Structure 1
Amino acid sequence: MATSLTKGTAEAEKTSPASGEKTFLGHPIGLAPLFMTEMWERFSYYGMRALLVVYLIAGGPDAKPGSQGGGLAMPQASSVAIYSVYVAMVYLLAMPGGWIGDRIWGPRKTVTVAASTIMCGHLLLAVPGKPTFFAGLALVAIGSGLLKSNISTMVGHLYDGPKDPRRDGGFTIFYMAINIGAFAAPLVIGTIGQKVNWHLGFSIAAAGMAIGLAFFLWGTRHLNPRSSQVPTPLTAEERNSWLKKGLIWLAIAAVFYGIVGGTGHFTMNWATVPLALLGLVIPISVLLRIKRDKELSDTEQTKVSGYIWFFVAAAVFWMIFDQAGSTMSTFAEKKTADNVFGINFPSTWFQSVNPLWVMALAPVLASLWLKLAKSNREPSTTVKFAMAMFFAGVSFVVFAIPMSMATGGHTVSPAWLIVIYMIQTMGELCLSPVGLSLTTKMAPQKYASQMMGVWFLAVTAGDCVTSLLSTAGVNLDGIGVILGEAAAAALAGGAIWVNRKKIVALMGDVR
């Protein structure tokens, strides 16, 4: 890193490889270490996530009869609440993670710290015991939040600005790293953790992140020097102010939880409920703050109003979609056959289905949109969002069918979950890439960088609703609840469809 900082200005501004320079699939060679870092980070994250709920219920009353013990023996409702809060915090922390990269450490140092933190978190998960488990879970969430925004920023640094013709292709390759890691993780980490030893599985996740960190450190010399720079560093006054505020809030939390714990009233809900409420309050507060900013032009204010429609719909979508690792995971574990053509497999393998569908369907949908665009028939953003909500709702209507069949100890065919994941993936591909693009287009100039974090907050809000429902005792396995969530998706999609002309007007020149 030191040599990168000493290079001249002309070289520092160079972001594309010269003729004869080494490349990675036709792209700047720096894409290779970023690709490998992201792939192994996703390998560790999705591997651990595949194990999370089944480990939490293992050995308890809600575990599958005859399954491996040695877990935390928690009720399923508490496990779902913990899982949902954990995923919510990963996406919530992406916003302060980006801020730290912009204001304190710079992207390169932030990713190094993030990867190290994730690795340490997985190592703590590998140590038996509740205190180490939850400490490890917190470290993985913090590290993932730090890494998410900053590694994407460094991919952008490799190219000559937004108009570089290779830029979109580079992000497409980078996106494939996510799906390769997510596909392989449940097959490796899930199998070892669920069939051999839970903590060995978490150790493999730590090893995966260690490999990713090694690739990153090896490849730092190929990254753009800008990745080592702090774009807008904090002044000494700002640093002291933030430090003071942080210490005050830390002291308040320490005193509060010290009193709760000291009086013997602490339960898991004292941790999950405040975090879930925070995950709802922060997105609402951020959107209101942006909406009320008097420095925004009338056009920007109007676009923010239009964006809120998409944000709410996305939150409903992610509320359903992210139950793949909780409600659907426990259904796969306890009520789905684990034997096909004589081959026995662990339930964590189902977590590999979504990334497999993404890799299979993404090129198909991309080609379809391109073909329709040539004849001026490509669906608008509002229509794609309505389609995404339709697919989300249909997926849970279909889910209700095998759920009604799996009674009295009967199990259903794995084909049901494979079809449900396919439907959800179609919805994901209509919403996720469109939402990312929409966010960059509708963001006010003042909040150009922060709005990507705002988009991730939709995931936070959706998962926090799931956590609060589970904590409140709502049976998320109930057919009525599943159909109710499907109805919520249909309502959100219908609202966008019915009001599409109004929303398009609010979007201004964005389509």
Structure 2
Amino acid sequence: MSQSTNVLRQPKPFYMIFFLELWERFGYYGLQALLAVYFVKQLGMDDTTSFTTFGAFSALVFGLVAIGGFIGDRVIGTKRTMVLGALVLASGYLLMGMADHDHHLVYLALGCIAVGNGLFKANPSSLLSKCYEEGDKRLDGAFTMYYMAINIGSFISMVLVPELTDRFGWSVGFFTCTLGMILSVGSYWFLRSWVNGIGSAPDLAPVDMKKMVLVLAGTVAAIFLSAWMLQNLTVAHVLLAAVSSLVVVIFLKEIIASKGTEQKKMIAALIMMLQAVVFFVLYMQMPTSLNFFAINNVEHNILGIAINPVTFQSLNPFWIMLASPVLAYLYNRMGNSGRDLSMPMKFAIGMTLCATSFLILPLGAQFANAMGIVSSGWIIASYFFQAIGELLISGLGLAMVAQLVPQRLTGFIMGAWFLTSAAASVIGGFIASMTTVPSSNGAVDALQTLPVYAKVFLEIGLAAAVMAGLMLLTAPLLARMINGDETIAEQAATAH
């Protein structure tokens, strides 16, 4: 039976998960908008330490998602893990609001946020994938609209939270993030009946109290361990490498155990996840180097309206909100007519657009005024290209996992998808630190920073362009693997 091309015609649970994710992301992106600047202005870090600490924090945020996915799939259930994660996140934002200049409390709060996100993040998308039957043409559109929920939440918070922080202080900004989590948990609580009978195997069984107690104890231990690692970054990097290696080994073991088309699909998924690491390195420049570029070298207005320069980050979700319904409609329309682009080709086009987003910034630097200040139009355009590229890579990454990975592994592999962000966060933090220059009595000379930003952004753009070229060349082969068609070698063997 043909599926409707109306992207709003989704199963009922989709809408509950949509608002759950929207408010959770409101909380997280409000924090992300402020954090690197907070490190510098409130805790007295230099830019380099701020970027590398932010990179390590982000690595923990994403690196723990694979564990949360496993707990949701195999231990206490998708829905229970999701709610626990949301409550831990709310505790973290609350502690951030109370921290002021207390470094130890800040690290404890960030530990809560990293662990809470790890428990939460993979499970709404895992739950969403279980609301659709295999081969449902609405799936690409559903995940694109789901991705739009993320960006509605992040857009509102990236505009609102910096403004509230400017007016009333850091505490009010972080307490506003806490409010987002309260709304997220509330939306689930009142609409939870919509997902009755949907979830992982443990969701459909009575609560195993022994497992629940172990998960709660492990959560508390993980919070303190994460807080300690953020103060010992070398240990954090080593642990990330160990966790990444373990996840890759488990993934490879599952690939080897699979056969035929299932195996080819999983190999294609692994290759595309490795490609996504490059995208996430680019993405991690938004709260770090791009954020400080906007503060130091971009005029602080849009269309003549004065803005807080931190708010330029909201351009990313703004463009995504505008483009998501259009792309979702096109996916459904092209899918029903049999003319849809393959997912590897969408990834390749997305990387091309991301390369463009960085390559136009050094061009804009050539038109800076005598004070070293660039027109805001250049960063608006940069965020536009990056946002569309993000929709084609990160926005479809979850759908890619849902389509290519067996359901028994959905939560774990979705966690592994987020682990690509963890590896990229560390790399992205180090790359962002290449844009730092010494300040004089806390003041930054725009004429001194401009050529540094232009050089690093040019290098990032060229590296991304090379990756995009490789992805365009390999996309047809990956598409054949995904579709289960014979490879060229198999066709040759058949001919003989």
Question: Which TM-score band (shorter chain)?
Answer: 0.7 to 0.9
Relative to 1, partners in 2 of residues 1:89 and 1:41: Cα closer, same or farther, differing over 3 Å? same
Change (3 A) 1:493 1:277: farther
Give the secondary structure class of the aligned counterpart of 2:43. Answer: coil
Deviation at 1:282, TM superposition (A): 3.1
| Aligned match for 1:191, one of 147, 156, 163 | 163
Output the CA distance in 2 between the equivalents of 1:431 and 1:369: 14
Which one of the candidate residues 290, 293, 309 is aligned to 1:328? 290
Return the alpha-carbon distance in structure 2 between the equivalents of residues 474 and 507 of structure 1. 43
Q: 2:400 aligns with which of 429, 438, 459?
A: 438
> Is the CA contact (8 Å cut-off) linking 1:315 and 1:458 kept in structure 2?
yes
User: In the aligned structure 2, how far is the partner of 1:324 from the partner of 1:201?
Assistant: 19
Deviation at 1:230, TM superposition (A): 1.4
Q: Residue 209 of structure 1 is aligned with which of 181, 202, 205?
A: 181
Tell me the distance in 2 between the aligned counterparts of 1:445 and 1:223: 17
Find the counterpart in structure 2 of residue 260 from structure 1: none
Q: Which residue of 2 aligns with 1:133?
A: 106
| 1:55-454 correspondence runs (5 A) | 55-58=38-41, 71-127=42-98, 128=100, 129-156=102-129, 159=131, 161-162=133-134, 173-227=145-199, 230-231=202-203, 271-293=232-254, 294-297=256-259, 299-340=261-302, 343-369=305-331, 378-403=340-365, 409-443=371-405, 447-454=409-416
User: Structure 1 residues 152, 291: closer, same or farther in 2, change over 3 A?
Assistant: closer
Shift of 1:341: 5.7
Change in Cα spacing, 1:448 to 1:132, as seen in structure 2 (3 Å) is closer
CA contact (8 A) 2:281 2:424 kept: yes
Match of 1:480 among 455, 464, 478: 455
Query: 1: distance between equivalents of 2:372 and 2:277?
Result: 34
**1:280/1:464 contact within 8 Å kept:** no
> Helix, strand or coil for the counterpart of 1:200?
helix
Name the CA distance, whole Å, in 2 between partners of 1:346 and 1:96: 37
Name the CA distance, whole Å, in 1 between partners of 2:302 and 2:180.
Answer: 29
Q: Distance in 2 between matches of 1:229 and 1:379?
A: 34
**Equivalent residue runs for 1:1-16 within 5 Å:** none
Deviations 1:96-138 (A, max 9, x none): 1122222333233222221211111011111212111121112
Cα deviation, residue 397, structure 1? 1.0
Query: 3-state DSSP class of the match of 1:323?
Result: coil
| Structure 1 residues 367 and 136, CA gap change in structure 2 (3 angstroms) | same
Is the contact between residue 143 and residue 395 of structure 2 (CA under 8 Å) also seen in structure 1? Answer: no
CA–CA distance in structure 1, aligned partners of residues 331 and 17 of structure 2: 29
Equivalent position of 1:4 in the other structure: none
Q: Which one-letter code corresponds to 1:337 in the other structure?
A: E
Distance 1:405 1:53, change over 3 A: farther
For residues 197 and 204 of structure 2, what CA distance do their matches in structure 1 show?
15
Deviation at 1:165, TM superposition (A): 7.7
| 3-state SS, counterpart of residue 45 of structure 2 | coil
Secondary structure of the residue aligned to 2:284 is: helix
Q: TM-score, normalised by structure 2?
A: 0.79
Secondary structure in 2 matching 1:419: helix
Matches within 5 A, 1:22-33: 31-33=14-16
Contact 2:78 2:203 in 1 (8 A): no
Report the 3-state secondary structure (helix = DSSP H, G, I; strand = E; otherwise coil) of the residue aligned with 1:462: helix
Instruction: Summarize the Cα distance change of 1:380–1:411 in structure 2 as closer, same or farther, 3 Å threshold.
Output: same
Relative contact order, CA 8 A, sep 6+: which one is greater?
2
Shift of 1:201: 0.6
Post-superposition offset of 1:347: 1.5
Amino acid corresponding to residue 380 of structure 2 in structure 1: I
- Tell me: CA distance 1:181–1:246, structure 2 relative to 1, closer, same or farther (3 Å): closer
Q: From the superposition, tell whether residues 377 and 229 of structure 1 become closer, same or farther in structure 2 (CA, over 3 Å).
A: closer
Identity score, percent: 28
Q: CA–CA distance in 1 between the matches of 2:104 and 2:44? A: 14
Gaps of 5+ in 2: 1-7, 438-448, 487-496
Residues matched between the structures, number = 457
The whole-number CA distance in structure 2 between the counterparts of 1:352 and 1:473 is 21
The TM-score normalised by the length of structure 1 is 0.77
1:79 is matched by which residue type in structure 2? S
Structure 2 Cα separation of the partners of residues 399 and 288 of structure 1: 39
Q: 2: distance between equivalents of 1:417 and 1:154?
A: 36
For residues 384-428 of structure 1, the C-alpha deviation after alignment (integer angstroms, 9 at most, x for no partner) is 222122111111111223445558743222111110000111211
Taking only aligned residues, the RMSD between alpha carbons, in angstroms, comes to 3.8
Change (3 A) 1:95 1:232: farther
SS in structure 2 at match of 1:126: helix
CA deviations on 1:173-228 (whole Å, 9 max, x unpaired) are 54432222111101111111134311111111112212222332233344314459
Amino acid at match of 1:35: F
Q: Is the 8 A contact 1:273 1:468 kept in 2?
A: no
Worse overlay, 49-58 or 460-469 = 460-469
One-letter amino acid of the counterpart of residue 286, structure 1: V
Preserved contact between residue 126 and residue 199 of structure 1 (Cα < 8 Å): yes
Kept in 1, the 8 Å contact 2:64–2:419? The answer is no
**Kept after mapping to 1: 8 A contact 2:39/2:50:** yes
- Matches of 2:287 and 2:195, distance apart in 1: 35
Identify if the C-alpha distance between structure 1 residues 389 and 143 changes in structure 2 by more than 3 Å, giving closer, same or farther: same
SS state of the match for residue 481, structure 1?
Answer: helix
Query: Are 1:84 and 1:464, in contact at CA under 8 Å, matched by a contact in 2?
Result: yes
Paired with 1:423 and 1:147, the residues of 2 have a C-alpha distance of 29
Deviation at 1:279, TM superposition (A): 3.3
Q: Which position in structure 2 is the counterpart of 1:67?
A: none
